[in-house]
C-alpha cells in the first residue's frame, strides 16, 4: 500500500532520529531536533558521527525532498514524532494542543480580525509551536502574520524553532519565563493554551494584580494578565481555558480584572470527547482588550461545540456563529 505524505515524512523524522539517538547517545527528542536541523540545512551538521552513520543518514535524507510537501503535512508528521518522544521523556506531562482546536482558533482569528490585512501574533506558552503553526499554516492567502513565541523550556523551544524552519514559517522565539518582562512590542493577537497550575516564583508573582495573597499564585491567571498587558488596545486574545476557570476561589478577582481591562466576546465549550477525562475538558475564551470608544458586543457568544463528526450539529453551530458576527459587526 502506498504511504500517505504524512506517513512518509514521519518515517523520515522517526528513522533518522533513531539513528542519531543511538549514535549520539542522547534522548529521542534531542535526536529529533538534530535530524530536523540536518534536513533544513540539507547537510549533516554533527561532526562527531561515524562515516557509516553519515552514509545511512544521507541515504534516508535523499529519499524525500521537503519542498514537495505541504507545510501542514510537515507540521503534523513532525508533531507525531515529537509526541512519540514525549511518551518516553521528561516532557510526558506536556499536552500538545489538538489540531482541530488550532484550526478552529484560526477560523476565529480570521473572523475577529477580518478588517486587518497584516497582524502580529504572540503565543506566550508556545511549547513546540503546534498551535501557532496550525494557525500560521491556515492563514488567508495574502495575509501577513508577524509571529512570536515564548517558552521557558529550551528543548521544546528548539523543537519549535526547527519546526518553523521546516515549514518555512518566520517566527521569532524567546527562551524565557513568559511571566517575566518580555522584549516584544504589544501585538494584535494573543493565542495561548494556558499552562494550568501554580507559579513557583512568588517574588515575581507579587508584580501581578492577580497574585494570590496566600500561597503560590495560579500560573494560568498570571498568563491572562501578562497577555492582556502585551496586547494592543482593541486587540484580541484567544485562550484555551479549563472549564472551571471561573469557579475557583480566585475567580472573583479574575472577574474583576477582566471587567476593568477587556470585553468578553465569546466562550465556546469544546467537545468533552476531545479530552482524556471530563476534568481535562477545556473551552475557548475570546477577549478584546478595552480601547477608548470601543463598545462591548451586544451579547457574548456562548456555544457548546458539538463533535466534529456530527455534521448537522456542526453546521447549525457555525450558522449561529455567523449570525452572531453579522449582528455584532465582526464578520
CATH number, domain of 47, equals 1.10.150.470
Non-local (6+) Cβ contacts of 50 within 8 A are 23
Estimate to the nearest angstrom the gap between the alpha carbon of 220 and the chain centroid: 15
Task: Give the highest mean pLDDT range of 10-19, 61-70, 307-316.
Answer: 10-19
Least confident of 26-35, 57-66, 223-232, 274-283: 274-283
Let me know how many helices (H) and strands (E) the chain has, helices first: 11, 10
Question: 144-151 and 118-123 as β-strands: parallel, antiparallel, unpaired?
Answer: parallel
Q: Is residue 92 part of a domain?
A: no
Task: Identify whether residues 142 and 120 lie together within a single domain.
Answer: yes
Estimate to the nearest angstrom the gap between the alpha carbon of 306 and the chain centroid: 22
Domain that holds residue 172: 99-327
CATH number, domain of 298, equals 3.40.50.150
Please state the domain count of the chain. 2
Task: Identify whether residues 182 and 266 lie together within a single domain.
Answer: yes
CA distances from 74 to 67, 150, 167, 181, 204 (A): 10, 22, 6, 33, 38
Task: Identify whether residues 186 and 118 lie together within a single domain.
Answer: yes
Rounded distance between C-alpha atoms, residue 189 and residue 232, angstroms: 8
Q: Is residue 241 part of a domain?
A: yes
Rounded distance between C-alpha atoms, residue 108 and residue 194, angstroms: 17
Task: Identify whether residues 302 and 262 lie together within a single domain.
Answer: yes
Rounded distance between C-alpha atoms, residue 6 and residue 19, angstroms: 20
- Tens of pLDDT, residues 90-129: 544 456 677 888 889 999 999 999 989 899 999 999 999 9
CA distances from 155 to 55, 172, 221, 226 (A): 27, 16, 25, 23
- For residue 94, the model assigns a pLDDT of 56
Q: Is residue 203 part of a domain?
A: yes
Task: Identify whether residues 176 and 253 lie together within a single domain.
Answer: yes
Task: Identify whether residues 83 and 208 lie together within a single domain.
Answer: no
Of the residues 29, 56, 87, which one is the last residue of a structural domain?
87
The model carries a pTM of: 0.93
User: What would the grid cell of residue 147 be?
Assistant: 509571529
User: What would the grid cell of residue 6 be?
Assistant: 504524512
Task: Give the pLDDT band (50/70/90) at residue 331.
Answer: very low
Q: How many CB atoms lie within 10 A of CB 273?
A: 10
- Tens of pLDDT, residues 221-267: 999 999 999 999 999 999 999 999 999 899 999 999 999 999 999 99
Task: Give the pLDDT band (50/70/90) at residue 33.
Answer: very high
Residue pair 150/125 in contact (Cβ under 8 Å)? The answer is: yes
In the chain, what percentage of residues exceed pLDDT 70? Answer: 96
DSSP state of 192: E
Task: Identify whether residues 106 and 217 lie together within a single domain.
Answer: yes
Amino acid at each position: 500500500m502506498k504511504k500517505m505524505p504524512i506517513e512518509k515524512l514521519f518515517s523520515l523524522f522517526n528513522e533518522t532520529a533513531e539513528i542519531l539517538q543511538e549514535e549520539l547517545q542522547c534522548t529521542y527528542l534531542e535526536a529529533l531536533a538534530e535530524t530536523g536541523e540536518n534536513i533544513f540545512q540539507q547537510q549533516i551538521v554533527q561532526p562527531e558521527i561515524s562515516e557509516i552513520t553519515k552514509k545511512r543518514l544521507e541515504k534516508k535524507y535523499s529519499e524525500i525532498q521537503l519542498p514537495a510537501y505541504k507545510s501542514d503535512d510537515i507540521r503534523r508528521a513532525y508533531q507525531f514524532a515529537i509526541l512519540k518522544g514525549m511518551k518516553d521523556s521528561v516532557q510526558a506531562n506536556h499536552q500538545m494542543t489538538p489540531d482541530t482546536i488550532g484550526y478552529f482558533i484560526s477560523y476565529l482569528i480570521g473572523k475577529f480580525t477580518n478588517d486587518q490585512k497584516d497582524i502580529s501574533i504572540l503565543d506566550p506558552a508556545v511549547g513546540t509551536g503546534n498551535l501557532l503553526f496550525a494557525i500560521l499554516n491556515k492563514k488567508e492567502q495574502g495575509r501577513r502574520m508577524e509571529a512570536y513565541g515564548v517558552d521557558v523550556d529550551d528543548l521544546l523551544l528548539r523543537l519549535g524553532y526547527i519546526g518553523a524552519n521546516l515549514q518555512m514559517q518566520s517566527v521569532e522565539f524567546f527562551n524565557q519565563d513568559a511571566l517575566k518582562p518580555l522584549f516584544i512590542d504589544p501585538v494584535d493577537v494573543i493565542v495561548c493554551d494556558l499552562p494550568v497550575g501554580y507559579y513557583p516564583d512568588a517574588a515575581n508573582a507579587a508584580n501581578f494584580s492577580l497574585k494570590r495573597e496566600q500561597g503560590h499564585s495560579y500560573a494560568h491567571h498570571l498568563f491572562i494578565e501578562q497577555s492582556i498587558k502585551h496586547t494592543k488596545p482593541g486587540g484580541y486574545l484567544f485562550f484555551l481555558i479549563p472549564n472551571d476557570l471561573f469557579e475557583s476561589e480566585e475567580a472573583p478577582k479574575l472577574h474583576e480584572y477582566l471587567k476593568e481591562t477587556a470585553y468578553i466576546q465569546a466562550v465556546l465549550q469544546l467537545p468533552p470527547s476531545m479530552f482524556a477525562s471530563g476534568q481535562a475538558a477545556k473551552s475557548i475564551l475570546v477577549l478584546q482588550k478595552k480601547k477608548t470608544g470601543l463598545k462591548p458586543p451586544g451579547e457574548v457568544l456562548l456555544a457548546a461545540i458539538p463533535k466534529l463528526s456530527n455534521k448537522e450539529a456542526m453546521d447549525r453551530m457555525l450558522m449561529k456563529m455567523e449570525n452572531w458576527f453579522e449582528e455584532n459587526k465582526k464578520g
